Amino acid sequence: MKKILMLGTGGTIASEMTPEGLTPELRPAQLLSYVPAIKDLCQVDCLSLFNIDSTNITPRHWCAISRALELNYHLYDGFVISHGTDTMAYTAAALSYMVQDADKPIIMTGAQKPINYDSTDSKLNLTDAFVCACSEELAGVDIVFSGRVILGTRARKTCSKSFAAFSSINYPDLAILQDHRLMCYISPRCRRKPRFFHQLEERVALVKMVPGTEPELLDFLLSRNKALIIECFGVGGLPSYEDSRLLELVERHTAQGKFIVATTQVQNEGSDLSVYSVGHSLKGNPYVLEGFDMTTEAVYAKMMWILAQTRDAEEVNRLFYAPVAHDILHRG
């Protein structure tokens, strides 16, 4: 029988109603008491890392999860992480960079309704997560939700209330589950030893362009951070607004060693700065990177992981465009 470690972090799945609204209260062992069939699947140990709403998750919590995984990695066949849905895609992306080449399943799951509700998706998701954690066909960080297995670097929450909360962006689902039976479409195979990272550069900012964005906003963010991710319009580019202030501040800050990542706020198909003149002006600068088909969540986590290791422009470029867990397919 497989031995699985369940890591609890809080979230809706562990919440109970209080006078202030839903608040995480239940520990992992309490969650498992609602799904007794799991004990027939595997032997489970539980570890409660923290018990918070996922809105309150920070990069420091990602580091704590990564450390717990490394400390226990050799003791277990797989891992289930219960987590709130609102920032689960960010955590899944971050863990994909902090735990690389894992040859065991690291499964994240949660719910849109608390486990003690009559109409809850918690029990289905939790059981499916343990089925996946016991599987020989899965490895690495995945999200299991509403009968779908989604790669950690490709997940995004696309529904705020529906049970089918997550979508796989620019990449197919790895598998589906029906009646707790796993049917894999893509089975990752890892022949390397897992690598663990526990440091992230938190001074990475993200801004979404809107028509008429003031250059001063980007200037402020770049002055306070080592990198700025810009969610551009369409396939990407910076507007001129009849002057060159945006481009000038890009040139000024990159000359000071700041990095800019141009990506798109359009969910599907990715960016391509070479299409229009507003994007072409950014190309050729070694401190300006392009997200292509990566999710914003993955771009954000990857830059934090990279900049914790190096500030050398050549090395940053190499690491950014080197695929990790299939986070990037198209590179121009």
CB < 8 Å & 24+ apart, contacts of 209-217: 209/233, 209/238, 209/239, 209/265, 211/239, 212/241, 213/239, 215/245, 215/246, 215/249
Alpha-carbon gap, residue 7 to 2, rounded angstroms: 16
The amino acid at 7:
L
Global pTM value: 0.95
Alpha-carbon gap, residue 56 to 77, rounded angstroms: 29
* pLDDT score at 140: 96
Closest CA to 143 of 179, 119, 177: 177
- pLDDT tens sequence across 122-135: 999 999 999 999 99
* pLDDT score at 132: 97
Structural domains of the chain in order of their starting residue, each with its CATH number = 3-196 (3.40.50.1170), 204-321 (3.40.50.40)
* pLDDT score at 332: 57
Percentage of residues in the chain having pLDDT higher than 90: 86
- pLDDT tens sequence across 54-77: 999 999 999 999 999 999 999 999
Tokens of residue 268, six digits: 């599907």
Alpha-carbon gap, residue 200 to 297, rounded angstroms: 14
pLDDT averaged over the chain? 94
- pLDDT tens sequence across 147-181: 999 999 999 999 999 999 999 999 999 999 999 99
Poorest-confidence range of 26-35, 242-251, 301-310, 317-326? 242-251
User: Which pLDDT band, with edges at 50, 70 and 90, does 279 fall under?
Assistant: confident
Helix axes 88-98, 59-72, angle to 10 degrees: 50
Does 242 score more than 90 pLDDT? no
User: Which pLDDT band, with edges at 50, 70 and 90, does 49 fall under?
Assistant: very high
Tokens of residue 69, six digits: 């995984």
Contacts of 314 (CB under 8 A, 6+ apart): 286
Percentage of residues in the chain having pLDDT higher than 70: 98
| Residues with catalytic roles | 12
Alpha-carbon gap, residue 78 to 138, rounded angstroms: 10
* pLDDT score at 99: 98
Does 80 score more than 60 pLDDT? yes
* pLDDT score at 144: 98
Closest CA to 237 of 255, 207, 263, 266: 263
* pLDDT score at 178: 94
- pLDDT tens sequence across 190-202: 667 899 999 999 9
* pLDDT score at 248: 92
Does 189 score more than 80 pLDDT? no
